């Protein structure tokens, strides 16, 4: 028996998800699914922070269910891009997606074809983003601009002197405006150099 979860979203606090819940329970019963969890958000679809959906995706990564059921695809995602990302991740986790209103079921042959298309579009989007970043970096280099974090001018002698005078790594990091890891690296490099000289 497959373990299923429901995701429901209503736009405002005075709306109720019972209509969505009724249809989803009926569909799950017809398919013989075991309902293990229900996630609900009472929030606009365009909001990026949605606790119910965030919890669903976290539980999906933990393998707590085999099927995600929703009343309509616009309930689960705030944009087409977001919907493709959610569907792509569920597919990678081996979790089926079923939408009541659109009759999408990624467990069947047509659904699997949809997943192939969705995955291809998601991969294309990722590749386009990478290519745009690379093009921007090439242009910056041609214009002579520095890429990445600016290099830090360290007063190594000062750091070593203050360390000898008993300052902690935290104090040194604060005084010189760098991380504790940077201070540790300077001290370690100095110690290594001294060992080689000895």
pLDDT tens digits along 34-69: 999 999 888 765 666 788 999 999 999 999 999 999
151: confidence class by pLDDT, cuts 50, 70, 90: low
Q: Please state the pTM of the whole predicted model.
A: 0.58
Active site residue 11: yes
Residue by residue, DSSP assigns 146-161 as: --SSPPP---HHHHHH
CB-based burial label for 35 (10 Å; 0-12, 13-18, 19+): middle
- The single residue of 11, 48, 103, 119 carrying the catalytic annotation is 11
Q: CA torsion sign, 91 to 97 to 102 to 103?
A: positive
Position 198 scores a pLDDT of: 61
CA 8 to CA 17: how far, in whole Å? 6
What residue spans in the chain does CATH classification 3.40.50.1390 cover? Answer: 3-123
Domain 3-123 homologous superfamily, CATH = Resolvase, N-terminal catalytic domain (3.40.50.1390)
Question: Is residue 87 scored above 90 in pLDDT?
Answer: no
CA 143 to CA 53: how far, in whole Å? 43
Q: Which long-range contacts (CB under 8 A, 24 or more apart) does 133-141 make?
A: none
Residue 129 is given by DSSP the state: H
Position 44 scores a pLDDT of: 67
pLDDT tens digits along 8-24: 988 765 566 788 889 99
Cα angle at 22 between 48 and 111, to 5 degrees?
A: 65
Position 54 scores a pLDDT of: 92
Provide mean pLDDT across the span 120-139. 81
Range name among 86-90, 150-154, 165-169 with the lowest pLDDT average: 150-154
């Amino acid at each position: 028996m497959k373990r299923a979860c429901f995701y429901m979203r209503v736009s405002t606090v005075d709306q109720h998800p019972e209509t969505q819940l009724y249809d989803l329970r009926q569909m799950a019963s017809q398919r013989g699914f075991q309902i293990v969890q229900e996630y609900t958000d009472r929030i606009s679809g365009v909001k990026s922070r949605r606790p119910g959906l965030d919890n669903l995706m976290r539980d999906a990564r933990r393998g707590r269910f085999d099927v995600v059921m929703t009343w309509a695809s616009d309930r689960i995602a705030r944009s087409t891009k977001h919907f493709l990302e959610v569907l792509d991740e569920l597919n990678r986790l081996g979790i089926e997606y079923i939408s009541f209103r659109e009759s999408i079921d990624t467990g069947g042959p047509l659904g699997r074809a949809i997943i192939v298309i969705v995955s291809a579009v998601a991969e294309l989007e990722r590749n386009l983003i990478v290519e745009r970043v690379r093009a921007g970096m090439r242009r910056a280099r041609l214009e002579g601009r520095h890429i990445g974090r600016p290099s830090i001018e360290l007063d190594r002698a000062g750091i070593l002197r203050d360390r000898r005078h008993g300052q902690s790594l935290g104090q040194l990091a604060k005084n010189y405006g760098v991380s504790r890891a940077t201070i540790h690296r300077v001290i370690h490099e100095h110690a290594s150099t001294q060992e080689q000289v000895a």
